[in-house]
Chain A
Amino acid sequence: MNDAGPLLEVEGVSVRFGALMALHQVSLRIERGEILAIIGPNGAGKTTLLNVISGFYHPWEGRIRFAGRDRTRLKPPDVAELGIARTFQNVALFKGMSVLDNIMTGRLLKMRGNVVLDALWWGPAQRQELAHRAAVERIIDFLEIQAIRKTPAGKLPYGLQKRVELARALAAEPQLLLLDEPMAGMNVEEKEDMCRFILDVNGELGTTIALIEHDMGVVMDISDRVVVLDYGRKIADGTPDQVRKDQAVLDAYLGVAHD
């Protein structure tokens, strides 16, 4: 793997749904080890951008390079295998399954199955499960959700479900973690917790993070760099301070008439 250069490069990517241009010639780079925030008014194309990166949508034009390799047209499972994991804007957990099992599903791509051995739970199958369980337990410890290990995910309050979703994404040991509004609908305390976890994931595990977030306080506090989208175009890209002063950004947010 190529260790120099940005982790992910998006070059002139456009996405259209019929006549609607959801993304228009967007280019951006995600550097290794950084926290990048993608912000913009509603309908600016933020989630679309995340969906393109995770392989859920394919760009109409443009290229995406991950770790120096072109992977514009990969499917989501292949993208996950490459080391990109994500969480969703609306929590997407298996509601009837325990927190532990939910996080275990994050390890699926790393499991090497053998029907007979798995059924007998013997030898390599047993060792494999123990190793995966240990990895999951480290994440449970990391995100401080020991007390809900055996609780069905659907019974948890919203803030905790979000945390479990983050845990599941981390279970895949991603190089790049995509978070779609990780703090939506949370109260101040839950947001503070989530911020700390995001910073810890970035700092302790060295995971590169790209996140969409509406809470500007949070964005300005935790991100190294901010990319601003408006009507499918990138209108700014820089440090939180630069972006805060950018006239185009102010216009987009304060609502100047578009020609």
Chain B
Amino acid sequence: MTTIEAGLDTFPKLVRSNAERRPHKIAIREKDLGIWQAYTWRQYFERARRIALGLAALGFARGDKAAIIGDNRPELYWAVAATQALGGVPVPLYQDSIEKELAYIVDHAEARFAVVEDQEQVDKLLHIRAQCPRLESIVYDDSRGMRAYSDPCLISLAELEERGDKLAVGQPGYFDAELARGSADDVAIICYTSGTTGSPKGTMLTHRNMIVMGRNAIEREGLRHDEEVLAYLPMAWVGDHIFSYAQSVLTGFTVNCPESAATVLHDLKEIGPTYFFAPPRIWENLLTNVMIRVEDAARPKRALVHFFLGVAQALERARLHGRTPSAWRRLLHPLGQALVYGPLRDNLGMRRIRVAYTAGEAIGPEIFVFFRSLGINVKQLYGMTESSALVAIQPNGDVRLDTVGTPLPGVEIRISEQGEVLYRSPGVFVGYFKNTEATRQTLEDGWVRSGDAGFIDAAGHLKIIDRARDVSRLAGGTIFAPKYLENKLKFSPYVKEAVCLGQDRPFVTALVNIDLAAVGNWAERRGIAYTSYTDLSQRAEVYDLIEHEVRRVNASLLDDDVLKGARIRKFLILHKELDPDDEEITRTRKVRRGFIAQKYAALIEALYGDGDRVQVQAQVTYEDGRTGTVRADVKIRDVALRATAAGEASL
């Protein structure tokens, strides 16, 4: 285990060290009033200190929890450091959580304090206060819309800092003394995992976990103090905490907070990060955006782009498979670099990227190859909250399509007899907060059960197949890996989400969610009129489009002896988008299989029945928490049947 220097054993102490060693280096930027406002490490530390003193003035004691809720804002990162400096534990929450989820976590975490971004979060907290008796004070940053609030538990961040200044006058040594009392094995953060089953669990990570594991990854990846990252993924997600907080504090690199959720792509372009993280969903969106714009370009330009993208992708595929690319493609590459790849990369804001990750879900090979072929060093990363987000990363120069790379320094991996991936590392969590039962099930002698089925290949790369508990068998005994099929379906730009069913059933069926942007654009090009998502989803033309995608997936399974028995026989297109507000998918967009099986039981029965359509009524939850009902007629398409019909017709 790597040793930790005394005096640098907690994150707030490391922030202080940054403030002393590189006081004028930019620590964090935020785009506000159209300008990137920068704060140095000295300011970072100073603000964290003032917030900490303010919290102390409100009675914050060691071990207290503070809920942190809002978009990525410098003030909220400072509040994280401030809480840790007082020996407290920050508990970041998803900013779009509905009140029920919020109430559960705030109550379960026993949060006495909450530091939130704005009125929206204040409103939610005031609503659930009755269910969270321990919550005493709510600190808000943005005072907009707060004029009419007189609740005594509310205090603005500015007032809080003023109260901190007053406390510092009376007790000048208070902050330093509290800071010095912290140690590496204190719990640094509790991250609640969204969990595809049951209630969220609070994963406790210590300073030591994240300092050691963060450093190991920094060394392996060669990260420097001059990196620029964009902090745009939820603060509640462990990845953001590692990349935008822990690693930034450890190396001193700069974190950039976008102006608003709607401006992320634009801000990405302005910042041009060197270190970038995105889940597959974001890479997909980026690719879809690019392709839509290419399709809108004039014909010669479009032909040029398609030609050179083809060259680059063929080159990249050859490289990923360890073959030597053909000579003429290698000759053409510099020209493509000047005409297409460079400008495109620049347009995406990815010209300066040295390291980029994708994780959370499998990424479509087309998407992965597309970005890599442009010269962007995208790599797959494997990790989870319980491992401080870091287990394995594809090493530079040894990237493959179907693995998640080799274990990071300090990480040991073994495969259980059931085929489940187990790991042990300095980053492994100390337990779930107030849930010893779940801790005992997951953590054994320092080994964590990942819940993923996978194996280590001949070259030492880890390969993940599916969630261990999701792998099952059809009624006939054929192996059925639903996520494997779903991911293949989702690799189509037209499919946003898919749920495959088949356990103990005679054949495989799929519920498909179309991607409104991509399918809408496709429909417009063909002059297909539609009024709403529901209407578009049930157009016969759209069913044909999706059937084509299903057939593509089925065809690709033919190569695989084990899985070729589990081809998709019937599918339907859902009349509404799966939505975390309806609890159908988690906030990190993972499908909740059990919930969907229950909610759409009628649809699923119909898929295994004889009819070609089914009537549905669905409960939907609007953003303000009200519920309503959507009625629709959903069609069912039988892929196998139509294949025979088409075959007969052609005879």
Contact = CB atoms under 8 A, between A and B. Distances in A.
Contact of B33 (A138, A144, A147, A200): A138
B259 interface: yes
Interface in B77-122: none
B11 to A, nearest CB: 31
Contacts of B531: none
B260 interface: yes
A204 B33 contact: no
A147 B144 contact: no
Residue of B34, B144, B262, B266 contacting most chain A CB atoms (<10 Å): B34
A20 to B, nearest CB: 41
B527 interface: no
A204 B147 contact: yes
Interface in B150-188: none
Interface string B32-51: 11110000000000000000
B145 interface: yes
A126 interface: no
A147 B147 contact: no
A31 to B, nearest CB: 19
A146 B145 contact: no
A203 B147 contact: yes
Interface in A134-158: 134, 137-138, 140-142, 144, 146-147, 149
Given A137-B34, A138-B33, A141-B32, A146 B262 contact: yes
A133 to B, nearest CB: 8
A200 B262 contact: no
A133 B33 CA distance: 9
A147 B148 contact: no
Given A137-B33, A137-B34, A144 B260 contact: yes
B598 interface: no
Interface in B255-310: 259-260, 262-263, 266
A142 B144 CA distance: 8
Contacts of B35: 137
A146 B144 contact: no
A200 B145 contact: yes
A142 B35 CA distance: 15
Contact of B266 (A141, A147, A196, A204): A147
Given A146-B263, A147-B260, A141 B33 contact: yes
A144 B120 CA distance: 14
Query: Interface SS of chain B: helix, strand, loop or mixed?
Result: loop
Interface in A197-212: 200, 203-204
A203 B144 CA distance: 10
Contact of B34 (A142, A149, A203, A204): A149
A4 B263 CA distance: 44
Contacts of B145: 196, 200, 203-204
Contacts of A138: 33
Interface residues of A, number: 15
B268 to A, nearest CB: 13
Interface string B475-504: 000000000000000000000000000000
Contacts of B148: 203
B308 to A, nearest CB: 29
Given A134-B33, A141-B32, A141-B33, A146 B259 contact: yes
Nearest to A142: B144
Contacts of A203: 145, 147-148
A147 B32 contact: no
B263 A147 contact: yes
Interface residues of B, number: 13
Contacts of B263: 146-147
Given A200-B144, A200-B145, A204-B145, A147 B34 contact: no
A140 B34 CA distance: 9
A147 B259 CA distance: 8
Nearest to B35: A137
A234 to B, nearest CB: 31
A133 B35 CA distance: 11
Residue of B33, B144, B147, B262 contacting most chain A CB atoms (<10 Å): B33
A133 B147 CA distance: 26
A115 to B, nearest CB: 27
A144 B262 CA distance: 10
B260 A146 contact: yes
Nearest to A137: B33
A140 B262 CA distance: 14
A10 B285 CA distance: 55
Interface string A188-200: 0000000010001
Contacts of A140: 33-34
A203 B263 CA distance: 27
A205 to B, nearest CB: 11
Given A134-B33, A141-B32, A204 B262 contact: no
A228 to B, nearest CB: 28
Interface string B132-153: 0000000000001101100000
Nearest to A200: B145
A212 B238 CA distance: 49
A76 B144 CA distance: 32
Contacts of A142: 144
A198 to B, nearest CB: 12
B141 to A, nearest CB: 14
B259 A204 contact: no
Contacts of B147: 203-204
B144 A204 contact: yes
Contacts of B33: 134, 137-138, 140-141
Interface string B598-619: 0000000000000000000000
Nearest to B262: A147
A37 B259 CA distance: 34
A57 to B, nearest CB: 36
Interface in B4-51: 32-35
Contacts of A200: 144-145
Contacts of B266: 147
A133 B34 CA distance: 10
A196 B123 CA distance: 14
Nearest to B260: A146
A134 B266 CA distance: 20
B175 to A, nearest CB: 32
A159 B260 CA distance: 19
A134 B145 CA distance: 21
Nearest to B143: A204
Nearest to B147: A203
B431 to A, nearest CB: 41
A147 B264 CA distance: 9
Nearest to A148: B262
Nearest to A140: B34
B138 to A, nearest CB: 20
Contacts of A133: 34
A209 to B, nearest CB: 16
Given A140-B34, A146-B34, A146-B263, 11 more contacts: A137-B34, A140-B33, A141-B32, A141-B33, A142-B144, A146-B260, A147-B266, A149-B34, A200-B145, A203-B147, A203-B148
Interface of B: 32-35, 144-145, 147-148, 259-260, 262-263, 266
17 contacts: A133-B34, A137-B33, A137-B34, A137-B35, A141-B33, A142-B144, A144-B260, A146-B34, A146-B260, A147-B262, A147-B263, A196-B145, A200-B144, A203-B145, A203-B147, A204-B144, A204-B145
Closest 3 CB pairs of A and B: A147-B262, A137-B33, A137-B34
